[in-house]
Structure 1
Amino acid sequence: MVVRSELEQLGIIPESVTLGVVQFAAPVTAEQKQRIGSALAPYGFSLIDDKKSRLIEKVKNLIVTLVHGNDNGELKVNLSGYLSAQLLHDYTYLSKLFTQVEGTTIEQYYIAQRIEKVKELLVYDELSLGEIAFRLRYSSAAHLSRQFKKVTGLTPSHFRKVGESRRKSLDSL
């Protein structure tokens, strides 16, 4: 809504606005791109105009949706197969491109997203660690605990005590 509103205030009417993607009926000039970028920057948005960067954003959006938007957490195939099928690119290509652009691997990004979801579920304090592990497709609660401690420096039970102050916003990952 913010993106659509800002564009309309600039007199640039988008054809569609979805998560991470804005499409225009007519080409956007360089001056319009600059105005759009300036208008959206205060909200934490940036323009991505090249194909490789758009592909990276699609990878990120798929992972975020998979981890945070999928309540049952079920991934029927492995991550590499899922991303390849969704984006119609070889996983090796996606992985190398992602690492070049982001400075981290797809797997590390996926783990970071999963850990943030674990933090959210721990703060809500409605599920046991075993239920959280099952929901997020960890092989066991022990595996989830080890990975959680490796990433955060805290055990899940200690984190549950200190709570929400340790969570990061999705934008900062």
Structure 2
Amino acid sequence: MLRTLLIKNMVCNRCNLTVSQLLKTEGIEIHSIELGKVVVVENENNDYNKLEKALNELGFELIQDSEDAIVEQIKIELIKEVEKGETDVILSEVAKKMGKNYAYLSKMFSKSEGITLEKYLIHLKIEKVKEYIQLQQLNFSQIAYSLNYKNSSHLAKQFKSVTGMSMSDYKNLHEAERKSIDQIV
């Protein structure tokens, strides 16, 4: 028999690896693993209370509530889109992909996270901009183009609005101020 575990803050491949290693350490057999979701082989020796504590120590959380699960699924879908370079994400398409009504998802997300879906997506994109700036492989215009902004001034205004500094000021920082994806909001 299989059991699905939904895990909050499991948003990257390193998270998958960390959770996978933890489950192996706990003696829990994995059937499949993907961002935010692990299917395990049910076994009478599986200690889910111990697993939950261990996950919490690593910054993860078992999701019990169905609304929390949906919000986490939204985050994962948006993160996947931004990581693929699909930054002109149409939020209604994400809702359709999830088989849900956009208005319902938007309201639920805002209630849960205290930020709109649109602003969350902007924050994801700004973290991607920070990554590009740190890599120093693209100039600001190229970054704007790669993230589907109409022009670099629109990106510059959005960047300053979110971070409180210009992209040039950010580039000149000695220590970059980036957030991990699971810490956005």
TM-score using structure 1 length: 0.87
Determine what percentage of the aligned residue pairs are the same residue. Answer: 33
Q: For residues 125-164 of structure 1, what are the structure 2 equivalents within 5 Å? A: 125-162=136-173, 164=175
CA distance in 2, matches of 1:125, 1:19: 28
Q: Which runs of 5+ in 1 are unaligned?
A: none
Structure with more contact order per residue of length (Cα contacts < 8 Å, sep ≥ 6): 2
Match of 2:73 among 58, 74, 80: 58
CA distance in 2, matches of 1:9, 1:136: 40
CA distance in 2, matches of 1:17, 1:162: 37
Residue 112 (structure 1) aligns with: 123
Residue 70 (structure 1) aligns with: 84
Residue 12 (structure 2) aligns with: none
Residue 16 (structure 1) aligns with: 32
Give the number of equivalent residue pairs. 168
Match of 1:122 among 133, 139, 162: 133
Offset at residue 33 of structure 1 (A): 2.8
Residue 179 (structure 2) aligns with: 168
> Structure 2 counterpart of 1:102, which letter?
E
Structure 1 135/61 Cα, relative in aligned 2: closer, same or farther at 3 Å? same
More helix by share: 1
Segments of 4+ moved more than 6 angstroms: none
Contact 1:80 1:91 in 2 (8 A): yes
More strand by share: 2
CA distance in 2, matches of 1:52, 1:154: 35
TM-score using structure 2 length: 0.82
Contact 2:52 2:61 in 1 (8 A): yes
Offset at residue 27 of structure 1 (A): 8.3
Structure 1 147/74 Cα, relative in aligned 2: closer, same or farther at 3 Å? closer
> Structure 1 counterpart of 2:109, which letter?
F
> Structure 2 counterpart of 1:86, which letter?
K
Q: Which runs of 5+ in 2 are unaligned?
A: 1-16
Match of 1:26 among 42, 50, 54: 42
Coordinate RMSD, CA, aligned = 2.1
Correspondence 1:41 to 2:52: no
